[in-house]
Amino acid sequence: MLTKRIIPCLDIKDGRTVKGVNFINIRDAGDPVELGEAYARQGADELVFLDISATNENRKTFVKLVKEIASHVNIPFTVGGGISSVEDVAPLLEAGADKVSINSAAVKNPDLIDQLSKAFGSQFVVLAIDARKIDNQWIVHTHGGSKPTDKKLFSWAKEGQERGAGELLFTSMDHDGTKQGFAIDPLAKLNELLNIPVIASGGAGTQKDFLEAFVLGKADAALAATLFHFGELTIKELKDYLLQSGVPIRNVNA
């Protein structure tokens, strides 16, 4: 089993870290710079910064905030939100982001994946997919989960890989913020289907949930927000538990 990664997610709205349940009922979770710095210090393997209202508000991700966060952390850092062209990406990478995450814009214009992969390399491109189960099918949603599309999770993930995405971030909207566990079955299917790393997102509530995401869901990384932001679980506690459970992880002694 390859080394697994623990990734706190910083959902940003109006310059603040926020968290909701099922993509709604948003509440404040703190300053993103302070949180990012704390997570890096605590042993997080990576960070994900998503400007969750950028697409709906038709604006670009805050480059200034990205730069400030990046200057306070020493671990890989993914940025997403409002990215719709090759021109949007260079300022973010220059500001300190290690990778970019694309979601709504990629659904609207799948060629964007090819363009970004060609311009910056597939290792810089994370395809984020928000999906909800409707009539026994996992349906892709865009615009912060507010708009259902005609795309299905597994075929879209496969197409994203073929177009050059280097990593997949899958969020189950049905599980998001519920703390009832990750969506294990689709995770496992994605990992069977794809050759690129898959990040599990949506539903982390206990240490066991992470263990199941890695062992049963075959995820390469697990992302969480609520547990970490509100002090319900520390990264060290989680990593100690996973190590004792036989899961290979990084930065154990942070």
What confidence tens digit (pLDDT) does each residue in 142-159 have? 987 789 999 999 999 999
Q: Is 51 a residue of the active site?
A: no
Is residue 14 annotated as a catalytic residue, yes or no?
no
How high is the pLDDT of residue 22?
A: 45
Element (H, E) at 88: helix 86-94
* Segment 56-84 mean pLDDT: 79
The distance of Cα 238 from the centroid of its chain, to the nearest Å, equals 18
**pTM for this prediction:** 0.89
Is the predicted pLDDT of residue 59 greater than 70, yes or no? no
Q: Of 45, 88, 130, 176, which residue is the catalytic one?
A: 130
Average pLDDT, the chain: 87
Domains of the chain by residue range: 5-244
Determine the pLDDT at residue 56: 45
| CATH code reported for the domain at 5-244 | 3.20.20.70
What is the spatial distance between Cα 19 and Cα 23, in angstroms, rounded to a whole number? Answer: 8
Residues contacting 99, CB < 8 A, separation 6+: 76, 77, 78, 79, 123, 124, 125, 126, 166, 167
Residue 170 has pLDDT above 50, yes or no: yes
